[in-house]
Amino acid sequence: MKGLVLLTINTKESCKEGDSVEGTREKRILLAHGDGGALTYQLIQELFLKYFTEGPLQQQNDGALLRDLPGPPVVSTDSFVITPYFFPGGDIGKLAVAGTVNDLAVTGAEPLYLTVSFILEEGLLMADLESIVASLAQTAQEAGVAVVAGDTKVVEKGRGDGIYINTTGIGFLPEQRELGYQRIEAGDKILINGTVGDHGLAILSKRSGLAFDTELRSDCAPLNNLIATILEKCPGAVKFMRDATRGGVATTAKEIALATGKDLLLWEEDLPIREEAAGASEFLGLDPLYMANEGKVLFIVQGDRAQEVLEVMKEHQLGQESAIIGTVEKGKREEGHVLLKTFFGSHRILEMMAGDPLPRIC
């Protein structure tokens, strides 16, 4: 646990923002903000339209008319229920953009548009909502996607948890971006764009009230620019991508093994991990390979081009700590396996995560 000093353990309550000012006179969300009447109208006019300034949303129609897509559409949807909704390195608004943008980007698609739908709990601080909406809007701008349609519902206190957000992303598949399980073969290399486990460990430390001397921060970030850069600079080299979110690198790798029947061999000594994350994992008895990431992608790359891809990744701000972490091998059994070659040289079989120690991690 070198490099890690446990400073304090706070009570669980202290980490839930929004509850701390119970009883003050701050403006809060009411049931009527979600009923489609005058207060809904006011919320849209005074809050949402202040941050979402793109054309289609400003029209306020039931449906947003978009420009023709330059290729076949790709869509992805995700609901975000993370607790706490503010955490080191991000918040539920940033996460709701990054999560869906990344789901589109790993298919090879270019994300263009997002829809955003809020389920608010009665009593949510208006200031918290505004902060989340501002963060969501800023992340969307950074990722180059436009928020084009929205919806707001309010549920009674005790029927939600502050705020849940659904985002649905729409993009298009540019030509010559054929990615898929079917391209994966023995000899391919496995790459990742940086350290593992940061998101899950940051949430857990925040939630449990643990404070370390070096703060663990979520890696939550939209990766569409990094991915587009790799695909453009190394055409054909990447065969498959998947973001290692819930279930972590181990579960994502196992999904690939199951879908292809191949074995994936990961090298523990090459796995990038922050010192403080390794320490926190050890302290908490958790395996960083199963901790969720929100800014990390596994790339399956043609073996003889792995070095070329790695160099491009390392030049990008979101790939500076990229590494080649394993290789694809011919499956030796009926079902594909994931094997971790440990520091000690032994091989450990990694199964799919069964029962997350951390519910509501995204």
Binding to its own copies (CB under 8 A) within 17-46 occurs at: 31-32, 34-41
Among 159, 330, 332, 347, binds its own copies (CB under 8 A): 159
Span interacting with its own copies, options 79-87, 186-194, 270-278, 338-346, rule CB under 8 A: 79-87
DSSP 8-state class, residue 28: B
Range 330-359, binding its own copies (CB under 8 A): 352-356, 358-359
Among 91, 107, 218, 230, binds its own copies (CB under 8 A): 107
State whether residue 20 is helix, strand or coil: coil
C-beta closer to its own copies: residue 3 or 72 = 72
Among 66, 126, 134, 211, binds its own copies (CB under 8 A): 66
DSSP string, 246-308: TTHHHHHHHHHHHHH--EEEEEGGG----HHHHHHHHHHT--GGGS--SS-EEEEE-GGGHHH
Judge whether 207 and 15 are in contact, CB under 8 Å: yes
Among 24, 25, 158, 345, binds its own copies (CB under 8 A): 158
DSSP 8-state class, residue 195: -
Minimum Å gap between C-beta 290 and its own copies is 9
DSSP string, 136-147: HHHHHHHHT-EE
Q: Which two tokens stand for residue 176?
A: 């010559």
At how many degrees (to 10) do helices 92-105 and 126-143 cross? 30
DSSP 8-state class, residue 237: T
Span interacting with its own copies, options 1-9, 163-171, 205-213, 260-268, rule CB under 8 A: 163-171
Range 191-250, binding its own copies (CB under 8 A): 242-243, 245-247
DSSP 8-state class, residue 34: G
79 binds its own copies (CB under 8 A): yes
Minimum Å gap between C-beta 177 and its own copies is 10
Nearest to 328 by CA among 351, 350, 310, 301: 301
State whether residue 190 is helix, strand or coil: strand
183 binds its own copies (CB under 8 A): no
168 binds its own copies (CB under 8 A): yes
170 binds its own copies (CB under 8 A): yes
State whether residue 68 is helix, strand or coil: coil
Minimum Å gap between C-beta 249 and its own copies is 12
C-beta closer to its own copies: residue 32 or 134 = 32
Binding string, residues 290-319; x marks residues near its own copies by CB under 8 A? --x---------------------------
* Residues whose CB falls within 8 Å of the CB of residue 318, separated by 6 or more in sequence, listed in order: 193, 194, 221, 223, 225, 226, 295
Torsion sign across C-alpha atoms 68, 69, 75, 78: negative
Span interacting with its own copies, options 4-12, 153-161, 199-207, 217-225, rule CB under 8 A: 153-161
Among 13, 65, 269, 343, binds its own copies (CB under 8 A): 65
Minimum Å gap between C-beta 35 and its own copies is 3
> Residue 362 and residue 210: Cα distance in Å, rounded?
19
Binding string, residues 117-146; x marks residues near its own copies by CB under 8 A? xxx---------------------------
Judge whether 293 and 247 are in contact, CB under 8 Å: no
| Residue 120 bridge partners (DSSP) | 154, 163
Minimum Å gap between C-beta 93 and its own copies is 16
